Amino acid sequence: MKKGVIKLKGIPAAPGITIGKAYLLDSEQISVRKRRIKADDIHKEISRFKDALSKTKEDILKIKEKISKEMGVEHGEIFSAHLLVLEDIMLIEEVILRLKKEKVGIEYVFLDVLKKYVNVFSKMDDEYLKERISDISDVGKRILKNLIGVKTRTLSNLARPVVLVAYDLSPSDTATMHKKNVIGFVTDIGGRTSHTAIMAKSLEIPSVVGLEEVTRNVKNGDTLIVDGIHGMVIVNPDKATVKHYEDLRGKFKKLEKGLATLKNLPSETKDGHRVVLSANIELPDEVPSVIYHGAEGIGLYRTEYFYMNKEGLPSEEEQYQSYKLVAQKMKPHSTIIRTLDIGGDKFLSQLDVPKEMNPYLGWRGIRFCLAQPDLFKIQLRAILRASVYGTLKIMYPMISGLDELRQANAVLEEVRNDLKKKKIPFDEKIEIGAMIEIPSAAMTSDILAEEVDFFSIGTNDLIQYALAVDRVNEKIAYLYEPAHPAVLRLIKTIIKNGHDSGIWVGMCGEMAGDPSLTFLLLGLGLDEFSTSPMLLPEIKKVIRAVTLRDAKEIAKKALTLPTGREVVAFVNAKLKEYVPELAMEE
Ligand code: PEP
Ligand code: MG
């Protein structure tokens, strides 16, 4: 490789290879001169400010409408939070007050007040307020540009296709992103199961996260190779490297094409053992992709998006309409709706959640819902009402033991009784499941299995809790080992306990989408694999390449290995042996 070429290793977030020009998010610095004004001009400056505020409001409303039309209302709702910033009386009054006192150009005063706000909020170390910082600076920049007449570039109107380079991406960034002009993205922070990485897969844009210093090593216009398969980013590659990656991209595309032909074939092993392949979604508008990739259901419908970046809490009606739509579109397949799982890296704007020292161990998931039964009941009512339009299932996140499961079921029972009393129809046989993502739940899964219809293993959290490794911290990402013997033993226990009680066991964590682990999970008896739609064909190919007998042998042997590293080497070798075309060389 040529001297001066920078090669960065990060965490693969969405597979695929992209070669393109870098575009640094937030790199445009707007310079503002300090301009003295006369007392007579104060009035004029205030009216310029007010014009800029209304122009910004118009701009945001237009974007909101466009995004809602193109990508669904949930994406559009993100901009409601931006509109709220525009109506922040305190900020507006402070700007006008200082303008009158200091008699300098309005743009200078505004920028100064904006910086002060961002500074104060950034020191607060509170996830809710941190989200507000990006809203405030987003809107602030728009106002400033309107004041000085600079045209705003958004991710939806970029002039040419680019590779986005950012410290992190906010939900508003991902909402305005389009495959047409964002051909890849790379970020400094984030882990394999962070929200950004999960969004990358659902958008199907090759990306690498957790690169630590990519924003420091890349300039606007640099050529970047993003290898979302191996988690590599190469800055300003030489010709030979470009050629190597073009070949790799060709191989990947060919593989994808071949995989697409599997769409209508069953997900069964060579000896006829059938498993269910389902998809994970966050928004109803991902359903076409779910169907396109041949999923036989939705194994995890994350519902946190309803509560993110919006004015007020989502109503029962709003949720009901979305659940109904998904149920209808997925029919006859089933959809598992996971009840609200706030907390960890999924923080919500409208809920008053206090700052915590250990948010992943704190007030999250079912704990939060049980403490807010009214909010929980609204969601359960919406799901139950929608259940007559298809096959819906309810799944509780973060169950740690039997008491919690019973409490959740008791709230559900209240809602069911209330609906019955009011003669509102719902599917009385609706299946209820528990996510098994806490080691205590895994170890007591024999007890829990008696009171639910299914389990779904949430490996994203299970791994972090079992190994004490924060799932979004790139510094310790090397310790986040899905194939660690401790994790494998927990998974084995959950599946066995589920089966002994006669219930089915699925997996909806990212581990279900890793083809090198498919034989192992099959061999342990997993009944359902649920993952990002784009990964499903690959998993199906692996399932169809083996007999259940061989998969069981592979699982048996893998469980005797003493370290995750050895398990990885063993299962990779098996993948290469059975499905050589999937073993992508670097
Ligand atoms: C998990 O923990 O594995 C999971 C699927 O849930 P989430 O990633 O939303 O926490
Ligand atoms: Mg989880």
pLDDT tens profile 317-335: 999 999 999 999 999 999 9
Residue 151: predicted pLDDT: 63
- Gap from CA of 462 to ligand 1 centroid (Å): 9
Residue 172: predicted pLDDT: 60
> If you write DSSP's letter for every residue of 120-147 in order, what string do you get?
HHHTT--HHHHHHHHHHHHHHHHHHHHH
Q: Which residues contact 574 (CB under 8 A, 6 or more apart)?
A: 519, 554
**Of 270 and 477, more confident:** 270
* Interior angle at CA 472, CA 202 and CA 7, nearest 5: 80
Q: Is residue 26 packed enough to be buried (19+ CB in 10 Å), middle (13-18) or exposed (0-12)?
A: middle
Give nearest CA residue, ligand 1 atom 3. 458
Residue 2 has pLDDT above 50, yes or no: no
Among the bound ligands, name the one nearest to the CA of residue 193: 1
pLDDT digits (tens, 9 = 90+) for 386-424: 999 999 999 999 999 999 999 999 999 999 999 999 999
Q: Does the C-beta of 282 come closer than 6 Å to ligand 1?
A: no
**Of 215 and 309, more confident:** 215
What's the number of CA atoms in the CB half-sphere (13 Å) around residue 554? 26
Residue 83 has pLDDT above 90, yes or no: no
147 within 8 A of 48, measured Cβ to Cβ: yes
Which tokens belong to 576?
């290469």
Residue 35 has pLDDT above 50, yes or no: yes
**Of 75 and 270, more confident:** 270
- Give the separation between CA 535 and CA 540, rounded to whole angstroms: 9
Distances, alpha carbon 230 to alpha carbons 22, 227, 451, in Å: 19, 6, 41
- Gap from CA of 343 to ligand 2 centroid (Å): 10
**Of 521 and 89, more confident:** 521
Give me the mean pLDDT over the 47-58 stretch.
Answer: 90
Q: Given CA atoms 36, 41, 43, 45 in this order, what sign does their dihedral have? A: negative
Residue 273 is a catalytic residue: no
Residue 75 has pLDDT above 80, yes or no: no
Q: Say what percent of the chain tops pLDDT 90.
A: 55
Q: Could you tell me the pLDDT band of residue 469, with boundaries at 50, 70 and 90? A: very high
**Of 367 and 285, more confident:** 367
Q: Does the C-beta of 294 come closer than 6 Å to ligand 1?
A: no
Q: Does the C-beta of 459 come closer than 6 Å to ligand 1?
A: yes
- Torsions phi, psi of 283, nearest 5? -135, 145
Amino acid at site 349:
S
Residue 127 has pLDDT above 70, yes or no: no
Range among 12-21, 86-95, 223-232, 269-278 with highest mean pLDDT value? 269-278
Residue 91: predicted pLDDT: 83
Identify the CA nearest to 222 among candidates 252, 186, 191.
186
Mean pLDDT, the chain, as a whole number? 88
Which tokens belong to 263?
């769409």
Q: What b/e sequence results for 339-362 when a residue is b if at least 16 CB atoms lie within 10 Å of its CB, and e otherwise?
A: bbbbbbbbbbbbeebeeeeebeeb
- Quote the pTM value: 0.74
Residue 1: predicted pLDDT: 45
Task: Write the DSSP symbol of residue 315.
Answer: P
Residue 234: predicted pLDDT: 95
106 within 8 A of 45, measured Cβ to Cβ: yes
- Give the separation between CA 533 and CA 348, rounded to whole angstroms: 25
506 within 8 A of 528, measured Cβ to Cβ: yes
C-alpha 134, offset from chain centre: 18
Describe the crossing of helices 127-148 and 42-71 by its angle, rounded to 10 degrees.
Answer: 120
- Gap from CA of 529 to ligand 1 centroid (Å): 14
Neighbours of 104 (CB within 10 A): 17
**Of 252 and 125, more confident:** 252
Residue 398: predicted pLDDT: 97
Which tokens belong to 80?
């409601």
- Give the separation between CA 405 and CA 457, rounded to whole angstroms: 15
Give me the mean pLDDT over the 14-31 stretch.
Answer: 81
Distances, alpha carbon 484 to alpha carbons 398, 487, 498, 566, in Å: 21, 5, 21, 9
Residue 269: predicted pLDDT: 98
pLDDT digits (tens, 9 = 90+) for 502-534: 999 999 999 999 999 999 999 999 999 999 998
Identify the CA nearest to 288 among candidates 330, 234, 317.
330
Q: Could you tell me the pLDDT band of residue 86, with boundaries at 50, 70 and 90? A: confident
Q: Which residues contact 205 (CB under 8 A, 6 or more apart)?
A: 14, 16, 177, 179, 182, 183, 184, 185
- Give the separation between CA 357 and CA 137, rounded to whole angstroms: 26
Task: Write the DSSP symbol of residue 204.
Answer: T
Residue 508 is a catalytic residue: yes
Residue 307 has pLDDT above 90, yes or no: no
Residues with CB under 5 A from ligand 2 (ion): 437, 458, 461
- Give the separation between CA 302 and CA 500, rounded to whole angstroms: 28
Residue 435: predicted pLDDT: 98
- Give the separation between CA 379 and CA 55, rounded to whole angstroms: 37
- Poorest-confidence range of 46-55, 340-349, 532-541? 340-349
pLDDT digits (tens, 9 = 90+) for 413-452: 999 999 999 999 999 999 999 999 999 999 999 999 999 9
Which tokens belong to 566?
């050895």
- Gap from CA of 498 to ligand 2 centroid (Å): 19
Describe the crossing of helices 548-558 and 564-578 by its angle, rounded to 10 degrees.
Answer: 160
Instruction: Kindly give the number of the ligand 1 atom that is closest to the alpha carbon of 511.
Output: 3
Neighbours of 315 (CB within 10 A): 12
Give, for 20, the enclosing helix (H) or strand (E). Answer: strand 17-24
Give, for 335, the enclosing helix (H) or strand (E). Answer: strand 334-338
Q: Given CA atoms 100, 104, 107, 109 in this order, what sign does their dihedral have? A: negative
Residue 481: predicted pLDDT: 96
Task: Write the DSSP symbol of residue 189.
Answer: S
* Ligand 1 pocket, mutate which of 201, 298, 302, 470 (most atoms under 8 A from CB): 302
Residue 134 has pLDDT above 70, yes or no: no
314 within 8 A of 306, measured Cβ to Cβ: yes
- Torsions phi, psi of 177, nearest 5? -80, 140
Instruction: Kindly give the number of the ligand 1 atom that is closest to the alpha carbon of 458.
Output: 3
- Give the separation between CA 516 and CA 20, rounded to whole angstroms: 29
